[in-house]
Amino acid sequence: MNESVLEKLKILAESAKYDVSCASSGTSRKHKAGGIGSAAGWGICHSFAEDGRCISLLKIMLTNHCMYDCAYCINRRSNDIPRATLSVSELVDLTIEFYRRNYIEGLFLSSGIVRNPDYTMERLVRIVKDLRTLYRFNGYIHLKGIPGASPELIHEAGLYADRLSVNIEIPNEQSLQLLAPEKDFQSVFTPMRHIQQRVLESAEERKKYRFAPRFAPAGQSTQMIIGATADSDKDILRLSSALYQRPTMKRVYYSGFVPVNTYDQRLPMLKQPPLVRENRLYQADWLLRFYQFKVDEIVDDAYPDLDLEIDPKLAWALRHPERFPVDINQADYEMLLRIPGLGVKSAKMIIVSRRYGRINVSQLKKMGVVLKKAQYFITCNELPLQTIHEVRPERIRTLLTQPSGKKEDPRQLKLIFEE
Amino acid sequence: MIVFTYDKTFEGLLSCIFYAYERKIFPDIVLAEGTPLPLFCEEVIPILTEEKKSERVWKGLSKKLSQAGLAVITYNWLSELPDTENLLFRYIRKAIDAPKSIELNFGDPDVLLASQIYKKVSYERHRVIQFTRFQKTADNIFFAALEPLYNVLPIAISHFKDRFSDQKWIIYDIKRAYGYFYNLSEVTEIRFETQSSYLITGQLDASLMSEDEQLFQKLWKTYFKSISIKERTNPKLHRQNLPVRFWKYLTEKQ
């Protein structure tokens, strides 16, 4: 280990940073004698980069040489950027020494495609295998599945990695063909299906034999780039929802498109990444996973794109005033979750504390329930003040979207001075 | 007004509970010994700390509350907030008097406040687990210093013991001037008597570091810079996620 690694680390981290996946959750593993480290089931973020995103794993590429020429990717063949490759011992040293200093939770290893998908995947698997068996690394490992890799290699990867991920990148096959001529949906979905199959098989085996090996215990994830193609939020969320139907898909990440290859005519010209849209998509994703929403309730043919001004749950509530107001002392958990501004924690807190007595507004406030949005959609012990039926949805929308700041007092006279 | 005074230990507080229930005298306020008394107090009862009595109270409590409820009590104690003893006294009294467990009754102001403090302390514990940064010393001990808001080291240490069980380490709370040392087999509480510079800045001097320590610190700083996407820079979110009070001890922020 010497100074030359510094330059490589810089190049390969720069190349890996556009993959947004960062979670280190899903596996709980105690320390093993003779090994290094453990895995905490809920995941730990050890630092946060200046863009506010968490640094949990050492997110790095084995090499940024790539034979593909995907329009949206910084590492595409036709880009003139510095290239580097880490040796196995360098990568292992970096991971273990960073881990010992509590900088990271584990390793997130990816790679550019060299020679062919199988060759690349084999190199990745070898490193992870060495790390687990030779160096007894017991922390978290997230490994990228290379699209088009053979099932045998995927099977081996899952024995050592906690989570595997294969990126879809573009939510629509035609656009994918246009931007990444070497890839197709087939090459992405086949490895995904193999991972799912093996995870389920291994779970079954472990029911019979306690010491049967675990296969990718933290499941799989994937990523889609937002704003690089003309796909609507409906297409994206329908695909996500279909993916979540599969038993092992834990997360779909949305990555706002950062125009890295501005010279490419196939890509839209964006001044800055679509951050608000990305945020709304994540909110919709949470509604799918934790709030028991169906995708058709969030986006449909009449509303193919998410509202950028208000969050998807509020948008749904404003479209469905007939479901409100909700009595928080009686409504079931599912309905509590549908109140705008009320999250999973608040809903659970209301459920447990109303067993002891009726809940009123002041108690809600003290519990930390934010009433800014919720006030128009609930009734509780007191008489409802201003519900959605009195105020009307359009008015609520303007009330909630007008910029906060100093509210003007209507009684105050305005003095207008001529300039 | 009846006042109980105690020696500001957790066992002392539990002894107060025992005394109160034994004599059926319930204080209006519990105070640490040596704090100035309120203006109109009829009776000041100094409570002696007795281990047997405090154990009996704890045993009784564990019948009334779940593990989570007991954790609310210990976490509140570790918060070291000014009025904790009175809040805990009321909380424990409610727990003992109620026919069923009170720990989920968030409509009750005391239960709610105690659970909110519990949350704050457990978040701080999590932050300590996130933001502790070890530096390797010349004699192969990994050293980390920090000053958490609440006294959370006792509840965070089990995590470090499990994770870093094959390396010697010291985690030191500079604010409270104590820490823990792990010698590959067990964790012991330690106190540094001297005021060395690393106990003020939290950063080891280069002469005390092992030889490759500076290289790895440099590598980590390089990585930290390269991993952020310039087009998405968001200083507000950065500060929100990585509170400024930890920056002093973070390697990547030096």
Closest-CA distance, A270 to chain B, in angstroms, reads 11
The reported pLDDT for the residue numbered A261 is: 86
CA B89 to chain centre: 19
For B133, the closest of A40, A103, A366 (CB atoms) is A103
Please tell me whether residues A220 and A364 are part of one structural domain.
no
Query: Which of the listed residues A246, A271, A296 is the one where a domain comes to its end?
Result: A271
Please tell me whether residues A249 and A147 are part of one structural domain.
yes
Residue A278 lies in a domain: no
pLDDT tens digits, one per residue of A203-213: 999 999 988 88
pLDDT tens digits, one per residue of A165-198: 999 999 988 888 889 888 889 989 999 999 999 9
CB-CB neighbors (< 8 A) of A366 in chain B? 109, 112
The reported pLDDT for the residue numbered A252 is: 94
Closest-CA distance, A392 to chain B, in angstroms, reads 31
Q: Which residues of chain B have pLDDT under 70?
A: none
Non-local (6+) Cβ contacts of A101 within 8 A are B133, B134, B135, B136, B142, B216, B220, B251
Q: Are the CB atoms for B251 and B135 separated by under 8 Å?
A: yes
The reported pLDDT for the residue numbered A67 is: 92
Please tell me whether residues B98 and B137 are part of one structural domain.
no
Residue A396 lies in a domain: yes
- Could you list the residue range(s) of the whole structural domain that residue A74 is in? 4-271
B43-46 and B141-146: which strand pairing?
Answer: unpaired
Which of A100, A261, A269, A366 is the mutation pick for testing B, counting most B CBs within 10 A? A100
CB-CB neighbors (< 8 A) of B167 in chain A? 100
Query: Which of the listed residues A217, A243, A271 is the one where a domain comes to its end?
Result: A271
- Tell me which DSSP letter residue A268 carries: P
Residue A279 lies in a domain: no
Q: Which residue of A has its CA nearest to B106?
A: A353
Q: Are the CB atoms for A154 and A189 separated by under 8 Å?
A: no
Please tell me whether residues B217 and B117 are part of one structural domain.
no
CB-CB neighbors (< 8 A) of A54 in chain B? 241
Helix (H, G, I), strand (E, B) or coil at A237: helix
Please tell me whether residues A128 and A225 are part of one structural domain.
yes
Non-local (6+) Cβ contacts of A159 within 8 A are A213, A214, A215
The reported pLDDT for the residue numbered A419 is: 62
Which of A47, A98, A351, A360 is the mutation pick for testing B, counting most B CBs within 10 A? A47
Question: Which residue is listed with tokens 């010994």?
Answer: B33
Question: Which residue is listed with tokens 């950062």?
Answer: A258
Centre a 10 Å sphere on the Cβ of residue B10 and count the other Cβ atoms it contains. Answer: 17
Q: Which residue of B has its CA nearest to A140?
A: B163
Query: Which of the listed residues B124, B145, B166 is the one where a domain comes to its end?
Result: B124
Residue A287 lies in a domain: no
d(CA A116, CA A299): 39
Q: How many domains does chain A have?
A: 2
d(CA B134, CA A46): 12
Please tell me whether residues B81 and B114 are part of one structural domain.
yes
Residue A231 lies in a domain: yes
ipTM for the predicted complex: 0.92
d(CA B211, CA B197): 20
Please tell me whether residues A237 and A327 are part of one structural domain.
no
Please tell me whether residues A235 and A377 are part of one structural domain.
no
Residue A107 lies in a domain: yes
Q: Judge: B232–A103 Cβ closer than 8 Å, yes or no.
A: no
Nearest to A98 by CA among B235, B173, B227, B151: B227
Please tell me whether residues B142 and B231 are part of one structural domain.
yes
CB-CB neighbors (< 8 A) of B230 in chain A? 51
Please tell me whether residues A245 and A321 are part of one structural domain.
no
Q: Judge: A53–B165 Cβ closer than 8 Å, yes or no.
A: no
Query: Which of the listed residues B96, B124, B152 is the one where a domain comes to its end?
Result: B124
Please tell me whether residues B136 and B119 are part of one structural domain.
no
- Could you list the residue range(s) of the whole structural domain that residue B166 is in? 132-253
d(CA A299, CA A236): 10
Residue A292 lies in a domain: no
Please tell me whether residues A119 and A226 are part of one structural domain.
yes
Q: How many domains does chain B have?
A: 2
CB-CB neighbors (< 8 A) of A24 in chain B? none
Q: Judge: A101–B142 Cβ closer than 8 Å, yes or no.
A: yes
Q: Judge: A258–B232 Cβ closer than 8 Å, yes or no.
A: yes
Q: Judge: B133–A101 Cβ closer than 8 Å, yes or no.
A: yes
B42 vs A126, higher pLDDT: A126
For A44, the closest of B129, B224, B228 (CB atoms) is B129
Closest-CA distance, A230 to chain B, in angstroms, reads 21
d(CA B161, CA B172): 14
d(CA A296, CA B55): 58
Half-sphere exposure of A251 (CA within 13 A, CB side): 19
pLDDT tens digits, one per residue of A305-327: 999 999 999 999 999 999 988 99
Helix H, strand E, coil C: the string for chain B is: CEEEEECCCHHHHHHHHHHHHHHCCCCCEEEECCCCCCCCCCEEEECCCCHHHHHHHHHHHHHHCCHHHHHHHHHHHHHCCCCHHHHHHHHHHHHHHCCCCCCCCCCCHHHHHHHHHHHHHHHHHHHHHHHCCCEEECCCEEEEEECCCCCCHHHHHHHHHHHCCCCEEEEEECCCCEEEEECCCCEEEECCCCCCCHHHHCCCCHHHECCCHHHHHHHHHHHHHHCCCHHHCCHHHHHHHCCHHHHHHCHHHC
Please tell me whether residues A153 and A15 are part of one structural domain.
yes
For B105, the closest of A14, A98, A356 (CB atoms) is A356
Q: What's the whole-number mean pLDDT along residues A354-380?
A: 89
Structure tokens, A223? 């990523």
* pLDDT at A2 > cutoff 80: no
- The per-residue pLDDT of chain A, averaged, comes to 90
d(CA A232, CA A223): 16
Q: Judge: A94–B219 Cβ closer than 8 Å, yes or no.
A: yes
Q: Which residue of A has its CA nearest to B164?
A: A37
CA distances from B171 to A96, B148, B192 (A): 20, 12, 12
Please tell me whether residues B61 and B155 are part of one structural domain.
no
Query: Which of the listed residues B75, B105, B124 is the one where a domain comes to its end?
Result: B124
- Binned at pLDDT 50, 70 and 90, residue A384 comes out as low
Closest-CA distance, B53 to chain A, in angstroms, reads 31
Q: Judge: B224–A47 Cβ closer than 8 Å, yes or no.
A: yes
Q: Are the CB atoms for A247 and A276 separated by under 8 Å?
A: no
The reported pLDDT for the residue numbered A26 is: 83
The CATH number assigned to the domain holding A203 equals 3.20.20.70
Closest-CA distance, B201 to chain A, in angstroms, reads 18
Which of B110, B222, B229, B249 is the mutation pick for testing A, counting most A CBs within 10 A? B229
Please tell me whether residues B109 and B21 are part of one structural domain.
yes
Nearest to A21 by CA among A93, A91, A109: A109
Amino acid at A346: S
Q: Judge: B107–A356 Cβ closer than 8 Å, yes or no.
A: yes
Q: Judge: A353–B107 Cβ closer than 8 Å, yes or no.
A: yes
Chain pair A-B, CB pairs under 8 angstroms: 146
* pLDDT at A244 > cutoff 90: yes
- Binned at pLDDT 50, 70 and 90, residue A273 comes out as confident
B168-173 and B178-182: which strand pairing?
Answer: antiparallel
Please tell me whether residues A148 and A228 are part of one structural domain.
yes
Helix (H, G, I), strand (E, B) or coil at A335: helix
Share of chain A above pLDDT 90, in %: 60
Structure tokens, A49? 């980069």
A45 vs A403, higher pLDDT: A45
Residue A286 lies in a domain: no
Q: What's the whole-number mean pLDDT along residues A103-117?
A: 93
The reported pLDDT for the residue numbered B222 is: 93
Query: Which of the listed residues A239, A271, A303 is the one where a domain comes to its end?
Result: A271
The reported pLDDT for the residue numbered B112 is: 92
The reported pLDDT for the residue numbered A270 is: 83
Closest-CA distance, A134 to chain B, in angstroms, reads 16
